[in-house]
Amino acid sequence: MTGPDARVVVSIADDRVGTTTVVADLRAAGLVVDAVLDVLGVVTGSVAPEAIDALRTVPGVTGVERQRGVGVPPPGNPIA
């Protein structure tokens, strides 16, 4: 049932940004924190896929999304 950890981004409500409790609650819910970006109200990290729903129920969390891969074509590709 347990797959590899999912990389996620978590957004925090305006009035909770910068408070330590949300990040602590996210950790308690299973999030391994990569970065706390207070200036954007975003926390990045990874979590077991089945714990994603638990992150959504943490007070002060407004959204949880799986990270997408982004990119540009390799050098020499006709369109960059």
Partner 1 sequence: MPEETKTTTGRYLVLLDDSSITAGAREMNRVAGINAASAVESVSPADLETADGVIFHDLGIAVVNAAPEQVTRLARAADEPGPITVVEPERIVHALAAPAAEEAAGPTAVDESVFTWGLQAIGATLSSATGAGVRLAVLDTGFTVDHPDFAGRTVLTNSFIKGETVDDAHGHGTHCIGTAAGPRKPASGGPGYGVAHESEVYAGKVLSNSGYGDDGGILNGIAWAVANGCAVVSMSLGAAVRPNTPYSQIFEQAAQRALAKNTLIIAAAGNESRRPAKVAPVGHPANCPSIMSVGAVDDQRGVAFFSCGTVDAVGQVDVTAPGVNVYSSWNGKTPDTRHKRIQGTSMATPHVAGLAALLAQQYNARGWELWARLMQSARRLGWSSADVGAGLVQAP
Catalog residues that contact partner 1 under the rule CB under 8 A.
Answer: 7, 9-11, 34-35, 37, 39-42, 44-45, 62-63, 65, 67-75, 78-80
Cβ nearer to partner 1, comparing 24 with 63: 63
Q: What CA–CA distances, in Å, run from 21 to 12, 28, 58?
A: 11, 10, 10
List phi, psi (to 5°) of 43. Answer: -120, 135
User: What minimum distance in Å lies between the beta carbon of 32 and partner 1?
Assistant: 12
User: DSSP secondary-structure letter at 18?
Assistant: T
User: What minimum distance in Å lies between the beta carbon of 6 and partner 1?
Assistant: 12
Q: Specify the 3-state DSSP secondary structure of 38.
A: coil
User: What minimum distance in Å lies between the beta carbon of 21 and partner 1?
Assistant: 20
